[in-house]
Amino acid sequence: MTRRSDTAITPDASASASASASASARPLLDVRDVRKTYHLPRGQTLKAVDGISLSVMPGEVLGLVGESGCGKSTLGRCLLRLTDVSSGEILFEGQDITALKERALRPLRQQMQMVFQDSYASLNPRRRIGDLLAEPLRVHPDPDGRKRSRATITARLHELMDLVSLPVSALERYAHEFSGGQRQRINIARALALSPRLVVADEPVSALDVSVQAQIVNLFADLQARLGLTYVFIAHDLAVVRQISTSVAVMYLGAVVELGETDAVLHSPAHPYSAALTAAVPRPVVGAARAAPLGGDIPSPVARPAGCRFHTRCPFVQDRCRVEEPALHVIEPGHSVACHFPLAEG
């Protein structure tokens, strides 16, 4: 199968984002036609992820945006093999991890970590933060295959606290003693403990207050620059995604409808859905011009419309859209869209 080059972010797009991107420009993560189907009672099927192909270059931050039920969280879990995919391939540094057994996957797990939305639920309330953070260091051997010594672990814990701007004394405390923002710092520290290359963050700031949210977004950005990390950043808040991402994939009902550099997608969206999504976000500016909101509701993912999945709500729908599903295709270098009639520039 020849991979559709159009679905990949071109190397030059991400090279600017990271100086550490290698010249060979092999994607860190390559997703090829991944599907995740759930079988429901009554013989219904839910295509949570419906044929997604994209790739993430080292040092890149890919933002996954979309409304509830678009499959962005499911995709995020599939990427790390926290959920098995139904079909398709996921390549991490060129290695197909889709069918790897848990044992073979374990060394790779160190390379890819996840940060979740609920900062409290992801931390065991009965254990000290230091214990929680030390656990992955105790379980996984160091890069040379040796068990880490106690001193190494302690040193690493101090390093981690410094990375996320928490005092070392935090290691002696329990999760409930921290505010939401501090807990999310701890979760980030935990994800970074094994020096991963890829971090998938699923709505990491959406439970936080605005003033705290900005701190955490900055922290993500700082860490990325400092450690040369690669993120897949899942969020429903477009403004947050814009702030942190180098490229953006807009999802609707299980599929990517538009993919490209952040500014291209959010400022000159080619897909009517991306355009409506950006327009619908209320700006903190009085008298800002507003487009008429998109009508109707998101269809149930169980009963996905035929043809273009967006045609039931699209203001520019044509006959062709109702029968033929548009494929994701390149409209300009590094910018692809799944629409028969992409919007013109501007």
Partner 1 sequence: MPAETIPMLPAPLLEVRDLCVSFPSRGRMIPIVEHVSFTLGERDILGLVGESGSGKSVTAMALMGLIDSPGVQITGSALFRGQELVGLAQKQLLRLRGSEIAMIFQDPMTAFTPVYTIGWQIDEQIRAHERLSRKQARARTVELLADMGVPDPARTADRYPHQLSGGLRQRAMIAMALSCNPSLLIADEPTTALDVTVQAQILDLIRSLRSTYGSSVLLITHDMGVVAETCDTTLVLYSGRVAETGPTDALFAHPGHPYTAALLASIPPLDGPRPHRLPAIAGAPPAPLERPAGCAFAPRCSYAHETCRDAPPPLVPLVPAGQAGQAGQAGQNTGAQSAANIQQQSAQFAACVLPAEGTLLLPRLLEADTAMSSPGGIILGLSDQGIQPMLSSAGEPPL
Which residue lies nearer to partner 1 by CB, 107 or 295?
A: 295
CB of 242 to partner 1, least distance (A): 6
Which residue lies nearer to partner 1 by CB, 7 or 224?
A: 224
Query: Environment class of residue 92 by beta-carbon count within 10 Å: exposed (0-12), middle (13-18) or buried (19+)?
Result: buried
Which residue lies nearer to partner 1 by CB, 24 or 68?
A: 68
3-state SS, one letter per residue, for 208-223: CCHHHHHHHHHHHHHH
CB of 218 to partner 1, least distance (A): 5
- Cα torsion for 314, 320, 322, 323, to the nearest 10°? -150
CB of 143 to partner 1, least distance (A): 29
CB of 134 to partner 1, least distance (A): 19
Q: Is 94 helix (H, G, I), strand (E, B) or coil?
A: coil
Q: Are 27 and 10 in contact (CB under 8 A)?
A: no
The helix or strand, by DSSP H or E, that contains position 95, with its residue range, turns out to be strand 95-96
CB of 21 to partner 1, least distance (A): 20
Which residue lies nearer to partner 1 by CB, 230 or 243?
A: 243
Sequence-distant (≥ 6) Cβ neighbours of residue 23 within 8 angstroms: none
Closest by CA to 85, choosing from 38, 117, 45, is: 38
CB of 14 to partner 1, least distance (A): 17
Binding site for partner 1 (CB under 8 A): 67-68, 165-167, 169-170, 173, 178-182, 185, 209-215, 217-219, 221, 236, 238-240, 242-243, 263, 266-267, 276-290, 293-295, 297-298, 313
Which residue lies nearer to partner 1 by CB, 122 or 274?
A: 274
Which residue lies nearer to partner 1 by CB, 25 or 298?
A: 298
Q: Rounded to 5 degrees, what angle do the CA atoms 105, 106, 112 make?
A: 85
